[in-house]
Structure 1
Amino acid sequence: MNVYTTDKIRNVVLLGHGASGKSSLVEAMAYLAKLTNRMGKVEDKNTISDYDKEEMKRGFSIKTSLIPIPWQDCKINILDTPGYFDFVGEVEEAVSVADAAVIVVSGKAGVETGTKKAWNLCEKYNLPRMFFVTDMDIDNASYRQVVQDLQDLYGKKIAPFHLPIRENEQFVGYVNVIQQVGKKWNDKGEVDRVEVPEYSKNNLSICRDALMESVAETSEEFMERYFNGEDFSEDEIRQALRVNVIDGSIVPVMMGSNVLARGMYTLLTDIVKYFPSPDKRKCAGIYTKTNEVYDADYDFSKPKTAYVFKTIVDPFIGKYSLVKVNSGVIKTDDVLYNYHRDFEEKVGKLYVLRGNKVEEVKELHAGDIGAFAKLQKTLTTDSLSTKTAPVAFLRTSLSKPYTARRYKAINKGDEDKISQALQKILTEDCTLKNVNDSENSQTLLYGIGDLHLEVVKSLLEERYKVEIELTKPKIAFRETIRKSSDVEFKYKKQSGGHGQYGHVKMKFEPSGDESKAYIFEQCVVGGAVPKNFFPAVEKGIAEGVKKGPLAAYPVLGIKATLYDGSYHPVDSSEMAFKIAAKQALKKGILAAKPVLLEPINKMIVTVPDAYTGDVMGDLNKRRSRVMGMNPSEIAGYTDIEVDVPALELYGYGAVLRSMTGGAGEFSYEFARYQQAADEVANKQIEERKSKLEESSL
């Protein structure tokens, strides 16, 4: 591929709801740019961007694909992202390096939850954006309804640049609002000028007036001319609109048919015309030698810096680190310094990815997106620079996973293979977390949602030939006491020769501090228990609190006081006193009104205002306690703060999405332990009988 300078690059992320047509739009663009000689189809499993076996099998995007498209004298780096919310990490990685966004909306399905989420992401990253309405070849597609819904949501800044022309219920052309002319596709796929249809003239006038008003607002001179009734030239209009689009005060709406490859020419041309090249965007890091701000700003003349926004680990094509060059010009065999790892990486060859195809390039200019192969220590969100001018860029904030499943190998002996395979998947997917919960003897996978975890399970089977079973995780309950008890235990054993003898009298009571398992004190007088056995008594308590006598859960908040006992000058030993203390603890807990404690999480549920009632009703069924409701940072959303038992969160993500049409999100963290309700405690005690028997052996 040719080398492109910064001003000839456009980095554009495709966003939108699942099945809105992003991948098929890429196909149409690539076909029009003569990258392919035929358009692939998602259903035929032959698209450029959905090349992974898992994506082909499921019929939707799972990963972000990079598709560079040469257009006119520019290169448009298209970042095709998944639409399903479980793969939001892929979207966040892509948005972090994009300079503009095309939000894809199906003319048939209309504005959906994913459309609104895409808009919110653009707001967060301050991205210029435009809408592209697909499926215009379908009879019941309504461009007008989509525009109306967008204007209701986002106001006057929504500006249709085109209006559809239909004949005999067929999508045959469009009206260009800027030029005020009709254009109709001919048999060669080119456009012929036609009269603006009568039914479009009223809408054209409204859209044109709105555009002219926006153009006038770009300068005092234009404003004066506008009020004097003067017309603007097409070049003046386009230049003013470029300013408006870049600053976000105008969001163009375009349309087309992916299947017929109609509307792509104007889309690609308008991406080049209206979207900014990287040098028109800001990019700052920290110059680590002085901790001062380093304005990289995609300036080719500054020292080399790059940001790793994504990692691909593929058994067939190998490991690639996808980077955006933030300053300078990176060339073959450059040595770059990773500040985060304190390690120098030799870049070797430079590549540009097009789906799963790899193409070598000589250099990457500031603002361009490319790939480095086989970096040794560099991971996603790391920064690369020169060692003489080390720079660190702000790491992308990726969504945290809150949906957990317990997993185990289906075939014995596969544990090591699973661990190694998961490590590779975790290198690619930063929204996946692998946790070894030794306390509950389980390993947990945390993902964004159920579908996310199912895909990981499938990847392990297809790619790494190992199978896992996903089940409900065990919840970490605790035990404590609510009253005091006074017990004694004598451990006495004769087996020929030296015997075993340990005798303790102990008091047990709530310590008032449930952050610690136990507090041990002694107030033995007269040497009834020699001092050298005190550590053994405490060791017995320390071992005993690991599995309580109620349901074999760890014990919290107990104060144990050794106040008396006896010993044998020959048979007493540390082992005997340890066993005596451990048994005394068990006896003491059972005599002091033992209770089961369940973990309580502090959770924030963010939902559109319209769904707060339904969500609150569901939370009440989950034994939660509402602590507050506040307006969210996202307009039209509410943050509901609740304390909810961890036991009630299994499957909550799927329920919340179902209730809110995919718009609701939640996050939580452990808050405290709280006494479990009787029915919950009784069920746990019954389920844990076998564990209790094991611990008493």
Structure 2
Amino acid sequence: MTRFQLPRLIFIHDLDQGGADPWNVVDQVKSKLNHRCAAIQVPICIDDCYVGFVDLVKLKAYFFSSCGLFDLANKLKAYFFRSEIPDYDDAREVPKDMQAFVLKKRHELIEIVSEIDDKISEALHGGSQIPESYLDDAIRRATIARKFVPIIISDERYEGIEVFMEGVIRYLPSPIDVSNYALDQNRNGEKVELSGSIDAPFVAKAFVTWYRMYLKLTYLRIYQGVIKKGDFITNVNTGKKIEIPRLGKRREHDESEEVDKIKEVDEAHAGEIVFVFDAHLESGDTFTDGSVRYIMTSAADVPAYSVSKDCGEKFSNGVN
């Protein structure tokens, strides 16, 4: 993750396993991975059964409802088909027998975040209480800046997935929180920031190619501008102009790349990922409308391989 410069979360699960000790895992993360991190939840276990958690930011306890197979099927259906997701039970007060331990862990969380965030540091040294909103915002800022890693202690089953997804929404960046950069070939590779606007010159990058039945499908991520079916775009890496014969997106609620599951569209906008049918697009290349000569900067470097001439085509299809 350091190589790709991505914010991250740590998810500790399987708390129902015999002898599970999430705090030992937290200590190992700190010592072996050398991450500045802290748990943002304390699990609530009764007789080795994981029944809920205490949110250290909100200082509230949440208890899961019982989940049979029928309930689990409904929850999975809700997730994958994006219908209303059942909430876990309403927030309650922290159990009395856990209050001392919870306050200790919250203080540890605040101390670590205060080393990174000035607002929390000032409030901590001033002796004032840390409001929930202050701490939540500070964790998000530090996570996006890659200076802090929140640790979510939950379970990968049932409502535990909701806890993890809530952490993703609360602390990881949305597209507008991240800046994308390109290298302007007309200015000796000067680094420029892309606006992400649909009114800006079209800039996109191909990143995966699939062969499905008799078609070649290439994923194209659009960083700014608009692309329409029938447009001509320029491969900045080679200088070639390419016509876009067809565009497609996944059908709603369907993650398949099968041809009959792809919905054809007439245009796509900045921020979207589309399929391009039967066009000579190569993975890793940058494409524009010809008005600019930008090449996208990439966090990942493609390693070089030695390949014999007779297997070059198969290798190209494989890595693309």
> TM-score, normalization: structure 2?
0.78
Report the structure, 1 or 2, having the larger strand content.
1
Cα 1:199–1:324 change in 2 (3 A) is: farther
Aligned partner of 2:262 in structure 1 is: 358
Structure 1 partner of 2:14: 135
Alignment of 1:586-601 (within 5 A): none
SS at match of 1:124: coil
1:266 aligns with 2:167: no
Structure 1 residue aligned with 2:303 = 399
- Aligned twin of 1:428: 318
Give the secondary structure class of the aligned counterpart of 2:3.
helix
Listed as ranges, the matches of 1:336-355 within 5 Å are 336-347=233-244, 348-352=246-250, 354-355=255-256
Q: What secondary structure sits across from 2:170 in the alignment?
A: helix
Alpha-carbon spacing, 1:152–1:363, altered in 2? closer, same or farther (3 Å) = farther
Displacement of 1:203 in angstroms is: 4.3
Q: How does 1:189-208 map onto structure 2 within 5 Å?
A: 190-197=88-95, 200-208=98-106
User: Contact 1:128 / 1:246 at 8 angstroms: preserved in 2?
Assistant: yes
- 3-state SS of the aligned residue for 2:29? helix
Given that 1:159 and 1:253 are in contact with CA atoms closer than 8 Å, whether structure 2 keeps it comes out as: yes
1:238 shift after superposition: 1.5
Equivalent of residue 210 in structure 1, options 108, 111, 133 = 108
**Runs of 4+ residues over 6 Å off in structure 1:** none
Q: Conserved in 1, the CA contact under 8 Å of 2:44 and 2:52?
A: yes
Report 1:521-532 matches (<5 A). none
1:240 aligns with 138
Based on CA coordinates, which of the two structures has the bigger radius of gyration?
1
Summarize the Cα distance change of 1:171–1:336 in structure 2 as closer, same or farther, 3 Å threshold: same
C-alpha distance in structure 2 between counterparts of 1:155 and 1:222, whole Å:
22
- Structure 1: distance between partners of 2:274 and 2:167: 24
Mapped partners of 1:369, 1:210: distance in 2: 41
Is 2:3 the partner of 1:124? Answer: yes
The structure-2 alpha-carbon separation of the partners of 1:225 and 1:393, relative to structure 1 and needing over 3 Å to count, comes to closer
Aligned match for 1:373, one of 277, 297, 300: 277
Return 5+ residue gaps in structure 2 as ranges.
72-85
Change (3 A) 1:229 1:389: same
Identical pairs, percent: 20
Q: Match for residue 153 of structure 1?
A: 32
**Which secondary structure does the structure 2 equivalent of 1:279 belong to?**
helix
| Amino acid aligned to 2:147 | S
Give the 3 Å change call, closer, same or farther, for CA 220–123 of structure 1 in structure 2: closer
Q: Does 1:327 align with 2:206?
A: no
SS in 1 for 2:218: strand
User: Do the aligned residues in 2 keep the contact of 1:132 with 1:253 (CA within 8 Å)?
Assistant: yes
1:324 deviation in Å? 2.2
Residues 381-419 of structure 1 show CA distances to partners (whole Å, capped at 9, x for unaligned) of: 1111111212222464123458x9x9xxxxxxxxxxxx6
Aligned AA (1:274): Y
Once the two structures are TM-superposed, the CA of residue 217 in structure 1 deviates from its matched residue by 5.0
- Structure 2 counterparts to residues 236-635 of structure 1, below 5 A: 236-258=134-156, 260-300=157-197, 301-315=199-213, 318-347=215-244, 348-352=246-250, 354-356=255-257, 357-360=261-264, 363-375=267-279, 377-394=280-297, 396-401=300-305, 423-424=313-314, 426-429=316-319
Judged with a 3 Å threshold, the aligned counterparts in structure 2 of structure 1 residues 343 and 275 are, in CA distance, closer, same or farther, namely same
| Distance in 2 separating the partners of 1:297 and 1:214 | 34
Q: 1:359, 1:133 → 2: CA distance?
A: 38
* 1:333 to 1:200, Cα distance in 2 relative to 1, 3 A: farther
- CA distance in 1 between counterparts of 2:239 and 2:35 reads 50
Aligned-pair distance for 1:424? 4.6
Distance 1:328 1:355, change over 3 A: same
Matches within 5 A, 1:60-209: 122-155=1-34, 157-187=36-66, 190-197=88-95, 200-209=98-107
Report if aligned partners of 1:279, 1:297 keep a CA contact under 8 Å in 2.
no
Q: Which amino acid aligns with 1:127?
A: L
Shift of 1:364: 4.0
Cα gap change, 1:286/1:227 in structure 2, threshold over 3 Å: closer, same or farther?
closer
* Kept after mapping to 2: 8 A contact 1:139/1:170: no
C-alpha offsets along residues 512-554 of structure 1, whole Å, 9 cap, x if unaligned? xxxxxxxxxxxxxxxxxxxxxxxxxxxxxxxxxxxxxxxxxxx
CA-CA distance at 1:173 after TM superposition: 1.1
Q: In structure 2, how many angstroms separate the alpha carbons of the residues matched to 1:304 and 1:235?
A: 38
Instruction: Give the number of the structure with larger relative contact order, counting CA–CA contacts within 8 Å between residues 6 or more apart.
Output: 2
- How many pairs were matched up? 291
Q: Which secondary structure does the structure 1 equivalent of 2:303 belong to?
A: coil
CA contact (8 A) 2:53 2:154 kept: no
Structure 1: where are the runs of 5+ without partners?
1-121, 407-418, 431-697
The whole-number CA distance in structure 2 between the counterparts of 1:365 and 1:255 is 38
Q: How far apart are residue 178 of structure 1 and its match?
A: 0.8
Match of 1:648 in 2: none
| Whole-angstrom CA distance in 1 between matches of 2:21 and 2:112 | 25
Is the partner of 1:129 in helix, strand or coil?
A: coil
**What's the counterpart of residue 574 of structure 1?**
none
CA distance in structure 1 between the partners assigned to 2:269 and 2:20 by the alignment? 41
Counterpart of 1:423, as a letter, is: E
Distance 1:332 1:235 in 2: 46
- Residues 94-122 of structure 1: CA deviation (Å, up to 9, x unaligned): xxxxxxxxxxxxxxxxxxxxxxxxxxxx1
After superposition, residues 646-665 of structure 1 pair within 5 angstroms as: none
Give the drift of 1:234.
Answer: 1.7
The 8 Å contact of residues 231 and 243 in structure 2, kept in 1 or not, is answered as yes
| 1:247 positional shift | 0.6
Amino acid at match of 1:398: V
Q: Counterpart of 1:311 in 2: which secondary structure?
A: strand
Contact between 1:163 and 1:204, CA under 8 Å: does it hold in 2?
A: yes
AA in 1 matched with 2:4? Y
Compared CA separation, residues 423 and 381, structure 1 to 2 (3 A)? same
Asked if 2 retains the 8 angstrom alpha-carbon contact of 1:364 and 1:370, the reply is yes
Residue type of the partner of 2:15?
A: M
SS of residue in 1 equivalent to 2:43: strand
**Aligned pair in 2 of structure 1 residues 424, 333: CA closer, same or farther (>3 Å)?**
farther
Q: 2: distance between equivalents of 1:292 and 1:238?
A: 39
Other-structure match for 1:226: 124
CA–CA separation in structure 2 for the residues paired with 1:146 and 1:136: 11
From the superposition, tell whether residues 237 and 331 of structure 1 become closer, same or farther in structure 2 (CA, over 3 Å): farther
In the TM superposition, what whole-angstrom CA distance separates every residue of 1:578-634 from its partner, at most 9, and x where no partner exists? xxxxxxxxxxxxxxxxxxxxxxxxxxxxxxxxxxxxxxxxxxxxxxxxxxxxxxxxx
Deviation (angstroms), 1:270 = 2.5
In 1, are the aligned partners of 2:139 and 2:150 still within 8 Å (CA)? no
